[in-house]
């Protein structure tokens, strides 16, 4: 399994940051590794909600369906798992209050399935670069506090 993580301090309030980040329709706004994202159904964001996401991996577009597995607005924590052919990506989001803004802790785990597990050691640098670009995009889009 490949794990990447980062922390980002934002000027947004914790509730604003959590609402924005847990709604994966916003991913294309700040993550250059995401081409498109849409809700699978209407209604409030809750456990079981889905997002249809098209990720960019190694010069190709990969459709993924993300499902909200955990969602707690009081604790400002969410877990979303995306599935595509041969890979499961799980994103863990936790937003904390920091001064007048917030601090986002984001961890992503990528698990290759079947024979694709053989690609994992060679894919680590790619996923690390994608994560860094995403967090840089988040800082730029939402205005990092430092």
Per CATH, is 2-142 categorized as 3.40.50.300? no
Q: Return the residue matching tokens 């205005």.
A: 143
Looking at per-residue pLDDT, the higher value among 123 and 138 belongs to 138
pLDDT in tens, 56-100: 877 889 999 999 999 999 999 999 999 998 889 999 999 999 988
Average pLDDT of the chain is 91
Q: In Å, how far are 70, 115, 124 from 91, measured between CA atoms?
A: 10, 23, 16
> Residue 20's pLDDT band (boundaries 50, 70, 90)?
very high
pLDDT given for residue 14 in this prediction:
96
Three-state DSSP at 116 gives helix
Domain boundaries along the sequence of the chain: 2-142
Which sign, positive or negative, has the C-alpha torsion 32, 100, 23, 78?
A: positive
User: Strands 60-72, 77-84: parallel, antiparallel or unpaired by DSSP?
Assistant: antiparallel
Helix axes 14-22, 120-142, angle to 10 degrees: 130
């Amino acid at each position: 399994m490949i794990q990447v993580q980062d922390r980002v301090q934002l000027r947004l309030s914790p509730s604003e940051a959590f609402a924005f980040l847990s709604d994966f329709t916003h991913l294309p706004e700040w993550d250059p590794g995401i081409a498109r994202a849409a809700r699978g159904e209407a209604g409030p964001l809750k456990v079981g909600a889905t997002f249809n996401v098209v990720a960019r991996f190694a010069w190709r577009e990969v459709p993924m369906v993300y499902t909200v597995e955990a969602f707690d607005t009081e604790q400002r924590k969410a877990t979303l798992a995306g599935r595509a052919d041969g890979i499961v990506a799980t994103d863990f989001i936790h937003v904390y209050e920091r001064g007048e803004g917030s601090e986002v802790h984001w961890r992503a785990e990528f698990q290759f399935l079947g024979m694709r597990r053989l690609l994992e050691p060679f894919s680590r640098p790619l996923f690390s670069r994608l994560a860094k670009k995403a967090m840089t995009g988040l800082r730029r889009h939402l205005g990092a506090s430092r």
